[in-house]
Structure 1
Amino acid sequence: MELKGQILIYSESGCKECMNIKTKLESLLLPYVEVDLVNHPDRRIEMENLTDRDTVPQIFFNDHHIGGYYDLIDLETSGQLDSIIDQVKNTPVPDTAPKPAEHSPNCDGEIVGWNRIKLESLLVKLADQGVLSSHRKMFTVYHCSFHGKDLIAWLTSQEMLSYQDALNTAGDMVKEGLVVHVTDPQHPFADSSQLFKVVGADFPSALNAGITQSCGDQSAVQISENLRRIMTSLSGRHISEEGYKVDYEGIKTDVEFAKYVMTAQSLQRVSLAGISKQALIAMFINIYNALVVHGIVSRGAPSNHYVRYKFFKNVSYVIAGHNYSLNEIENGVLRANRKGMADLSKPFPVGDPRLSVALESPEPRVHFALNCASKGCPPIRFYSPDKLDNQLNKATKSFLSSGGFSVNSDTHQVSLSPILKWYKADFGKSDADMLKWVCGFVNNTDEGRVLQELIDTKQFKIVWQDYDWSLNH
């Protein structure tokens, strides 16, 4: 439906009634713009002044304040909504109407309406009529996928589109982030044997699977920051100040956790193009730590080593159109595609598109930033790209000085957390290299000076500590 005017919603990511009101508008084929107050907190006072309310959603038809979701339903039930729609349909936006959000990486202000609904309905038809299928490419099976030429053939024969309209429609599906090339997220649509897939549909077990926000590619940095902000808020209420104890039941029932789950769905269609190394590392550390919490809350804590292995292999998020398990985030991305301690092969095989995200070399300090929900792990913290180097140094020093390392000058024994044993290759080629790396973070302490002397004289014996796998609650 074409509107001369504007429908604007003040909302918050994860708000159930906000989702309901957007779904209602889409069912009425009414395009709208959105000001998400999570991403634009400076607009909250404006909303409160305009509406005399402090709750979301609040909806405006031009400068006419309708109210919230139930106010909209009441207008529809009473028959008054049709005249309001007619007015916004035929009346240009007045200067007194609230303004859409500007320059938002989360696509606030983008008009969402008939075109997207049409594209999503076409995807449903594709599934119903068997165009979507499973295709194997090398060693990977892509579910809910199709060849570009088959989509064009279906659109021209079943939807009766001209060839050019079919190409434009298929291209719109890619631009909207509804479908993506199976190996190259930046690949444009092609009428060929190139293979495309429906975003998120081939990973139904991923914890962030589901309906994504109604917008195109979003900034990975911004979404990561939104998730970090929400989890930091949750941490303040349900994670001990030092970061070692987690109230999983409290998180499960916290309304803000529902907001986190909704925001995590946005990861399905983020754009990783041009992301800096610092931002990438911070993003995946934060996602890992939050995904562990999400996994425990949703699926329960692992009860033994085998269940724990399966947990880290299977608990996952869809990120930029591809599935990443906890194991793949740690060993594939942050450890530059190295085998995990219980794995026989690398996480990402040759030709895997996720290799483009993997670091060129391991970042060993991440081992003191990742929390696996056990008492032996480093504490839960969340990291910022602009402060990452200092934060990782601080996390490493803190872990080593809080029991992860000790030395006995009489026996020449160096006691270390088994984390350094499991990922020994990341710290150097030999025991001496590993101890030199440790020394770099404790060299200003008495124990550090003892360690340096043992390294210089090659008179050291490494003793591995026991690891406490019990849940950190």
Structure 2
Amino acid sequence: MGECERSPLGRVTVYSIQGCPHCMQAKATLGTLGIPVFEVDVGKHPELRARVKELTGRSTVPQIFFNSVHVGGNDDLQKMAPEERQRLVKLVQEEPLPADAPPLPDENQSDDTAGDTDGAASLSLLLREMILKLFSEHLSADGKSVDYKGMSKNPNFERYCELAIQLQRVELLSLSREEKLAFFINIYNALVIHGYLRMGAPTNMWQRYRFFNYVSYLIGGEVFTLQDIENGVLRGNRKGIAQLLRPFSKTDPRLQVALPDAEPLIHFALNCGAKGCPPIKTYTPKDIDSQLRTAAEAFLENDDACVVDSGKREVRLSQIFKWYKADFGGTDEKLLNWVLDHMGDSPKKTSLQGVISAGKTKISFLPYDWNTNSSH
């Protein structure tokens, strides 16, 4: 941080979560401005999540404030004109924090989010938190790449592997729907990173197919690949992309673990490839449905997930909606209404409402970014 002649009177507040590359990029940029930056991890302080949404109208992180001036997310910060940035720096240096400054966490508030879980749920939470911490430690300062090689040599990765062995003792059949959802989402996301560390990130279609059908954990005495977790368990044993058969046959013991129906919201919790992350990275059974709704809302706010063109009466959506159209109702009309129902109040939602009301909406799909974030 640069030295100022005197201490600035205000502050910059950044709401973020651990393991979010956009948050890291924003912090790297703010770190060059020579003013105090307070980071608030809304993953550890979920009580502030709703408050930040109220203040910003957005569900994604990071959200950045100079005193009480809301700048937006990382994209907004990077696009800001230098003179505008200087004006805000001056504001923080010269003006004390106003009464309506964005909130900081209550010091007495516990940041233990796993307090209400036990057994399988707390193990999945612990594994996910551990791998996110590792991920954060090996994320480049600008948040653009991950040093997977360095990560695999970190002694904490060995500890993670030892802990993952305990998954074979988990009793899956006794889990409720909510526990299953939280457990398998956390495990899937942790296993993707673990797979990258062991096999490297897939770079073409064939490698991706192999990766998702091969990378697996032994859970409760049965092997579950990434494909088995997503399509077998979380999508109610439906065929995945380019699969001829359902993941579990009628006699497969893993079929008893599968959820009765596809849960469309899981698609926004299984890895985040958009420009802003949902403000949740680990899921808990207690309020899993509202956490998943938040993740969907955050995803749909991104222009690489949903773009509404009122003039052309066209809606451009992420490929996820094409690949898994059956999960969102199976028809264009049902798909559009599902998207509308899961959007936060915003100008984009109002535009979508208008386009749907006008009828004859054209749906197209946005290119999907398969680029890996490895630094090697």
CA distance in 2, matches of 1:420, 1:242: 31
SS of corresponding position for 2:364: strand
Q: Which structure's CA Rg is the greater one? A: 1
Partner of 2:243: 343
Map 1:131-170 to 2 at 5 A. none
CA distance in 1, matches of 2:121, 2:264: 22
CA contact (8 A) 1:246 1:472 kept: yes
The question of 1:451 aligning with 2:352 is answered yes
Partner of 2:328: 427
SS of corresponding position for 1:317: strand
Q: 1:438 aligns with which of 326, 329, 339?
A: 339
Deviations 1:242-277 (A, max 9, x none): 988543233212221111111000111211232121
Partner of 1:460: 361
**Offset at residue 376 of structure 1 (A):** 8.9
Task: Give the AA of the match of 2:286.
Answer: D
CA contact (8 A) 2:213 2:227 kept: yes
Q: 1:250 aligns with which of 150, 164, 171?
A: 150
**Offset at residue 457 of structure 1 (A):** 2.9
SS of corresponding position for 2:345: coil
Q: 2:209 aligns with which of 299, 309, 316?
A: 309
Unaligned ranges ≥5, structure 1: 1-217
CA contact (8 A) 1:370 1:378 kept: no
Partner of 1:266: 166
The 1:275/1:339 distance shift into structure 2, 3 A limit, reads same
CA contact (8 A) 2:313 2:355 kept: yes
Sequence identity, in percent?
45
CA contact (8 A) 1:335 1:361 kept: yes
Partner of 1:286: 186
Deviations 1:311-344 (A, max 9, x none): 1011111100001000010000000000001101
Partner of 1:64: none
Q: 1:234 aligns with which of 126, 131, 134?
A: 134
CA distance in 1, matches of 2:274, 2:349: 25
Partner of 2:176: 276
Unaligned ranges ≥5, structure 2: 1-117
Task: Give the AA of the match of 1:226.
Answer: L
TM-score (ref. length: structure 2): 0.63
Partner of 1:173: none
- Corresponding residue pairs, total: 255
Deviations 1:46-98 (A, max 9, x none): xxxxxxxxxxxxxxxxxxxxxxxxxxxxxxxxxxxxxxxxxxxxxxxxxxxxx
Q: 2:284 aligns with which of 384, 391, 402?
A: 384
**Offset at residue 450 of structure 1 (A):** 1.8
Partner of 1:81: none
CA RMSD of superposed structures (Å)? 2.5
**Offset at residue 239 of structure 1 (A):** 4.6
Higher relative contact order at CA 8 Å, sep ≥6: structure 1 or structure 2? 2
Q: 1:417 aligns with which of 318, 339, 364?
A: 318
Q: 1:407 aligns with which of 292, 295, 308?
A: 308
TM-score (ref. length: structure 1): 0.51
**Offset at residue 451 of structure 1 (A):** 1.1
Task: Give the AA of the match of 2:331.
Answer: S
